[in-house]
Structure formats: C-alpha cells, structure tokens
Amino acid sequence: MIVLNQQMIRESEKIHYSKGIAKGYMNIGNAFLIVGDYQKSLRFLKLAEEQDYLKQDNVLLSSLYVEYGKIYEQIGIYSKANQSLDKAIYYARKKNDENSKKMLGYAYGWKALSTTINKTPDSALYYLHKASKIEPLPSTIINISQIHLKLNNIDSAEFYAKQAWNKVAANPDLKFHKATVIWGLADICFQKKQFEKALEYYQQSAEMYQGLKKKEDMRTLYQKISVTYDSLKRPDKAKEYLMRYTVLNDSLNVAQKQILNISIEDFLNEQEQKNRSSQQKLYYVIGSITVVGLILVFFGFQFYKKRKKEQKVKISDLEQKVSVVYDEVMQLAKNNDPAFFGKFREVYPEFCDKLLKINPGLVNSELKFCALLFLNFSTKEIATYTYVQPGAVRIRKNRIRKKLDIPSDQDINIWINTLINGD
C-alpha cells in the first residue's frame, strides 16, 4: 500500500495534480497510524495539509483532522485530540451533500470515543446519537450500548445491543460490525456474571477478528477470554489465553518496530526537501545579513521558550493520564471488580511475563494476588477487598514467597515492585 501511494504521489507531482498528492500522503499517514508509528503518520499528514487542494475539499480536510485526532488520542495529548476533532466536525458541516453528511457522522463517532468526551457519559451519548442519526451503523449503536453498560444501565445496554444485532443479522456482509457487536454482547453477559455465555461470545468474536486479520482486537479479546476463564475458576485455560495474549502482544510490538522494508526515510526526506527548496535560497541570503541574523536569533529564543512551555503542557497531560489510569486500577481492585486484573495487565503489560519467567507454574489467581501486592496493598486491605480473613492472606503471601523464592528477610511488596520496575 505504501509503495503504491509513493508511486501515485510521484506521478501526481509530474502533472501538478494536488489532489493525488494530498490523498497519497494521507493514505500513507493512515497506514502508519494503523501500525502505531505515530511520528511518521504525523509527518505524512503534515505534508498532505500543505497541499493547496485541501483548501477546496472540506470532506478530505475533515478526514485529515479526524486522523490528527486519532494520533493525539493515542499519544495522550487529549486537548489537541479534542481540538482536531472539533475542526473535523467544523469542516464536515460546511456542505450538506451526502459525502459531507457521512464524514460528519464519522467525526461525531470519533469525538464520542475521545478520552475528553468519554469521561462524561452524557456527552459521549450525545455525539453517538448524532452519529447514529446520520448513519446508524451497528458499530455506533453497540458503542451506545457500551456507554449504558458503563453506567450499569443493563436494560438500555441490552436494548441497543439488540438493535445493533438486528442490523448485522440482516446483512451478513458486515463482518467487522458483527464481530464488534458480538464483543459488546459478551461484555454485557460478563457484567451480568453470565460467564459461560460471555465466553462463548468472546470466542466467536475472536474467531471473526482472526478471519479479518485484526490482530490488535484479537490481542484484547485474548485478554478478556483469560479473565473470563479466571472468573469460571478454570486457571489452566485462563493461563493458556494469557500466554496467547502475551505472545501476540510481543509479536505486534516487534512488527511495529519493523514497519516495511522500504526506504521510507529517504522518500520522506526527498518530499520534505522539495517543499523546503524554494525557501533555502531565501534563508541563504537572509543569513548573510547581520541585522536580520540578530532578529532571527531573537525569534529563535522566543521559539525556544514557546517550545519549553509546550513540552511542560505535554508532560502535564501525560502525568494526568497516568494518574487517571492508576486511580482506575486501584478503584477496580478495591471493589474486587472482575475487570480489575484485565485492566491491570493493560497498564502493566510486562508484569505477568516477569513473574512467569521465575515460575512458569503460577496460575492466574496467584498472578492477580501478586498484582495486589505490587499495588502495595497491606494484608488487612487485601483481606477487606477480597472478603477473606487476614490469616488467609498471610498464608497466600507465604506460598507466593516460596514459589518466587523470595528471601524471608525481604518485604514481599518491595521485592515485587523492584522486580517489575527495576529492570
């Protein structure tokens, strides 16, 4: 795909076809976004944005800002993600033709799923309903169901899930939407503690995503299946799917670092050099003028201060993101929520791998207990949150200490934290 779009860009440049150049850059940017290389994705989207054609195509411009929104969402700069999605909605509203309407619905859908909006369920529902009114896609409707599920409105969640199911059942070609809807049904069953039915749905969805080659979704589903088996008191199967999750997660991480064996850097440099070539002569002349040089130094200093300020804002956003996720994990643990260990593994993906390297025989319930120790809960707190006696917690600690060969004179909580964070 990337090679074909490179070729399209070069051919479009020969005839000065701005639309072809812009679409080529956007397609490549989207390809890198899918595999998680956000830096390259941003660079290609910036190149697309520089094309004159985008000024006259509001639909394509709206699509560009949705892509920006996705990237900023993934890297945790939620304020910029929100701004980008607002721009996407603004440009999609410029016209009232069919393509603009579909683009507007698409932008509404991503706005609803953004972290800034998703924190407020009412706002998320507002945008999802607007998206559904324009184009009632099954995936949009099941997202409405998921919001109601988060609010513990089981009846409403089931109502919208049934609507979504009726749409995919009537159209067998909607394979991706069907997989998404079945996943949503599984989440409802899990929350209702209908673990057998949840497992059946999760496995159906995983098979469909496998057929669609959606490895990122399969990875998450393996994790959910592992947690479901754990809830069914089937530790062997829970461990099997935990290992599947770990293997797939590792392979995806490697794949993201080996994005296609092509000279993409040379190509990027070539294209960016073309955009800068008209300015280089001007910079050379200006550089020879002392007075202008001093002015440039002044503006350079101002730019440096601005950059430092922006970096502080980014760091603040990142710290806020870490704090919110950590608080969520802690609250799930305190509530003895079945979703706790799954969420914990998302936040600390290497946790289980490091413990299993020491003792591959650890079962899921023991790994979950180690997670509570890692979060620095005391014996009394663990007993309170898991509804057991403190004596039972101390017995489990001694068993874990033996299985991990932890010296008796070392604090088990500190030992586990050092193991996980010390590498």
Q: Which CATH number fits domain 136-257: 3.40.50.300, 1.25.40.10, 3.10.20.30, 3.20.20.70?
A: 1.25.40.10
Give phi and psi for 350, each to the nearest 5: -95, -5
Asked if 408 contacts 401 with a C-beta cutoff of 8 angstroms, the reply is yes
Closest CA to 91 of 46, 53, 61: 61
d(CA 211, CA 172): 14
Q: What is the pLDDT of residue 49?
A: 92
Q: What is the pLDDT of residue 253?
A: 64
Asked if 57 contacts 45 with a C-beta cutoff of 8 angstroms, the reply is no
Mean pLDDT of 397-410: 92
Closest CA to 28 of 3, 11, 49: 3
Terminal-residue alpha carbon distance, the chain: 38
Q: Which two tokens stand for residue 37?
A: 């290389």
Q: Specify the higher pLDDT residue, 213 or 49.
A: 49
Q: What is the pLDDT of residue 35?
A: 66
Q: Which two tokens stand for residue 249?
A: 């997660």
Q: Which two tokens stand for residue 6?
A: 């490179």
DSSP single-letter state for residue 56: G
* Sign of the alpha-carbon torsion through 255, 261, 262, 263: positive
pLDDT above 60 (res 379): yes
Q: What is the pLDDT of residue 318?
A: 41
User: Which conformational region is residue 260 in: left (phi greater than 0), alpha (psi within -120 to 50 degrees), or beta?
Assistant: left
Q: What is the pLDDT of residue 418?
A: 85
d(CA 166, CA 158): 12
Q: Which residues 6+ apart lie within 8 Å of 3 measured at CB?
A: 262
Q: What is the pLDDT of residue 312?
A: 46
Q: What is the pLDDT of residue 291?
A: 61
DSSP single-letter state for residue 214: -
Q: Specify the higher pLDDT residue, 24 or 249.
A: 24
Mean pLDDT of 392-421: 90
Would you place residue 320 in the very low, low, confident or very high pLDDT band (cuts 50, 70, 90)?
Answer: low
pLDDT above 60 (res 259): no
What residue type is assigned to position 126 of the chain? Y
Q: Count CB-CB contacts under 10 A for residue 331.
A: 12
d(CA 57, CA 394): 66
Lowest pLDDT segment from 65-69, 226-230, 249-253? 249-253
Task: Say if 136-257 and 335-421 have the same CATH topology.
Answer: no
Give the pLDDT confidence of 41-89 residue by residue, as tens digits. 899 999 999 998 988 999 999 999 999 998 888 778 888 999 999 999 9
Give the pLDDT confidence of 165-212 residue by residue, as tens digits. 999 988 878 888 999 999 999 999 999 999 999 999 999 999 998 888
| Domain residue ranges of the chain, discontinuous segments joined by + | 136-257, 281-325, 335-421
135-139, 155-159, 278-282, 372-376: which has the highest mean pLDDT? Answer: 155-159
d(CA 403, CA 397): 10
Q: What percent of the chain has pLDDT over 90?
A: 52
Would you place residue 263 in the very low, low, confident or very high pLDDT band (cuts 50, 70, 90)?
Answer: very low
d(CA 300, CA 313): 20
Q: Count CB-CB contacts under 10 A for residue 173.
A: 8
Give phi and psi for 388, each to the nearest 5: -130, 170
d(CA 379, CA 396): 10
What's the CATH code, domain 335-421? 3.40.50.2300
Q: What is the pLDDT of residue 389?
A: 94
214-218, 291-295, 334-338: which has the highest mean pLDDT? Answer: 334-338
